Amino acid sequence: MKTGRSTAGDTKARILDATEKLFIEVGYEATSLRQVTSRAIVNLAAVNYHFRSKDIMMHAVLSRRLDPLNARRLALLDACEARWPGHSIRCEHVMGALFVPALQMARDPAVGGPSFLRLLGRVYADTSPFIQQYLLEHYAPVYDRFFDAFARAIPAFPRRELGWRLQFALKALAGVLAGEELANLLPAFTQGKQMSDAHVLAQLTAMVEAAMTVAQPGADELSALQSVFDLVEQQQAAQRASMQESEHAQSAPQSANCAALEATEQEQASHTAAATIGKARMSARTVRNEGPSRAAVTSLSVRAREPVSFPSNPLDDWMRMRTRT
């Protein structure tokens, strides 16, 4: 029966394993505590109990793998520098001290396992501020030691020139290691032949060293690339001219249509104004003509009125006659 301590240890290990796998698959930013609890089959309280935050949990994931790796790297570099002191050390020796411990840990499930190289590649390739800060704090002394060794192995370049070349070469190699196609890449790389780790590393080192030691571009290389830039500018200028011609061709009919429409509207406005003036004039003439006619009709009506005679009443006639007598 498991004790409480072993159970707590198993839970913590499951959380770290789940976090490591998620980090390899999706990177630091996309790894969430909800995903970790789901994959580790634990609740959020267990994560908070062991680590308190995502950052602390990720620190534990990286430290348990990279701290032993850096210790092995520095120990092997010390041995190489003791064996090949000064400028007698070669680039292959420094690359061996950098990657042989990683290959060994990838062979040992107890300290890394098959996914260890992908973890290492993800650490180099991840651009999140958290990972970059972690590398700055934990890798700076290791990087300085290896940079000095590379500078002695490749003395032809200034340190600043060598710095960005080394950064480029290691980032490129890290991108290959972090990719999911690594398992298919190595068999294709070896072309079906049985190769030792030393042989595989020698092939990779040759490509990295070529990127680090390639000569500065000469006048011919610069002229060839400049001609490509000039060609791009010519294509863009031709595209801009074509677009301007197309816009002009489209705007010309539109301008003609607008002018015709404006003329039509002005003509309609003139016709409307003329019709309005004509109606006003006709109304004025009608008013002037109707004035005398109405007066004549009124006068005629007044003159035409005659006294109205009614039939005489015999009683009235008798009264008038009696008054006279």
Could you state, in order of their start, the residue ranges of all structural domains in the chain? 1-52, 57-215, 225-265
DSSP codes, 191-213: TT----HHHHHHHHHHHHHHHHH
Higher pLDDT, 258 or 220: 220
- Contact of 131 with 26, CB cutoff 8 Å: no
Indicate the pTM of the whole model: 0.64
C-alpha triplet 107, 112, 113: angle, nearest 5°:
50
Q: Which CATH class is domain 1-52?
A: mainly alpha
Contacts of 16 (CB under 8 A, 6+ apart): 57, 60, 61, 64
Structure tokens at 317: 């006639």
Asked whether residue 108 carries a pLDDT value surpassing 60, the answer given is yes
**What's residue 56's pLDDT?**
93
pLDDT at residue 298, rounded to an integer: 47
pLDDT band at 293 (very low <50, low <70, confident <90, very high): low
Reply yes or no on domain 57-215 having CATH 1.10.357.10: yes
Least confident of 164-168, 197-201, 247-251, 260-264: 260-264
* Higher pLDDT among residues 317 and 103, named by residue: 103
The letter for the amino acid at 294 is R
Within this chain, domains 1-52 and 57-215 share the same CATH topology: no
Tell me the Ramachandran region of residue 191: left when phi exceeds 0, alpha when psi lies from -120 to 50, beta otherwise. left
- What 3-state class would DSSP assign to 85? coil
Which position has the higher pLDDT, 38 or 258?
38
The winner for highest mean pLDDT among 56-60, 112-116, 177-181, 309-313 is 56-60
> What tokens does 305 get?
């009125």
